[in-house]
Amino acid sequence: MTRVALLLAGLAPLAFAVPAAAQSMDHSAHGSQPAAEPAPEAPGCTPEHAAMGHCTPKQASAPDTTPGTSGTDLPPGDAPAPPPPGDWYADRIFPKGAMEHSRHAMMKESGGLSVGFISLNLAEYQARKGSDGLRWEGEAWYGGDINRLTLKSEGETVFGEGIESTETQLLYSRAIGPYFNAQAGIRQDFGQGPDRTYVTVGLEGLAPYWFEVEGAFFLSNKGDMHARLGGYYDQRITQRLILQSMTEINFALQDVPEIGVGSGLSDVELGLRLRYEIVKEFAPYVGVEWALKVGDTARFARAGGEDADSVSFVVGVKAWF
């Protein structure tokens, strides 16, 4: 009897479930009654209840595109950005003048801060046939992202002969885009020949594929005009080992025998330097440089007892701070 009672208790739910399932069948095919209407929308309709037909989920509303929307409420697109808010909540609690001063200081520190930078691109010993010497090239600037005051210096010495040539430029630099700066100022040359002062106009920046390039025109106080193109590219071999190729080409509009420069293409320099960054700010290097004087510039050099071309093996350091 006990087993029979347990069996009947187990079958009881099925007995009630079968009529209920039969009542929920769709009888519209027999023409006896229309299909059942979907259950009304319920505020707490879960996906499980919706799957069983007990309720209808609420449809997500379309994004609000009314003029009052702003920020992340705006639909995607390329429309102009909305104007910045003018109702600062802090002004309701603190004096407006004090908050204006704080906001100005914050914006200056976040985007209008003036900073300084010093870079020694080349500081090297050059070993070449019969005329070993030193060479340097560097720059320093102070300013912001748009306007800067830039100082450039480069030169070389020959052991036993003193300074062969130096060049110093004082320039105003202004950003004309995300990657390029226009520059204008004064260049002053010193060396074994007569001194020269030039008005300088140039352009420098980052070209596609990460080439650092620069170009400039120079008009001297004697009326002679020169031009220069240059650039370099850093090829990373590892995170610390970098191979740098460098090129510089100089032109002159006319012959200037007193400084040993001929018209047209005057000289070309090609360099290859392998450096190791001990830290980002300090990297020793070794390399080789080839210098060639062409045209009348080569003729002036030979007349002065110099070679028109030379190869130098270099050891130096690159640093910035």
Full DSSP string of 61-82 = PPPP-STT--GGGSPSS-PPPP
pLDDT in tens, the chain (321 residues): 445 444 444 444 444 444 444 444 444 444 444 444 554 544 567 666 666 666 766 655 544 555 556 666 767 778 787 787 778 888 889 998 999 999 888 887 777 788 999 999 999 999 998 789 999 999 999 999 899 999 999 999 999 888 889 999 999 999 999 999 999 999 999 887 788 999 999 999 999 999 999 999 999 999 999 999 999 999 999 999 999 999 999 999 999 999 999 999 999 999 999 999 999 999 999 999 999 999 999 999 999 888 899 999 999 999 999
Length of the chain: 321
Q: What is the DSSP letter of 53?
A: T
Specify the pTM: 0.70
Distances (CA, A) of 138 to 74, 155, 300: 49, 10, 28
Task: State in Å, rounded, how far the first CA of the chain is from the last one.
Answer: 97
Give the side-chain half-sphere CA count within 13 A for 72. 0
Give the side-chain half-sphere CA count within 13 A for 23. 5
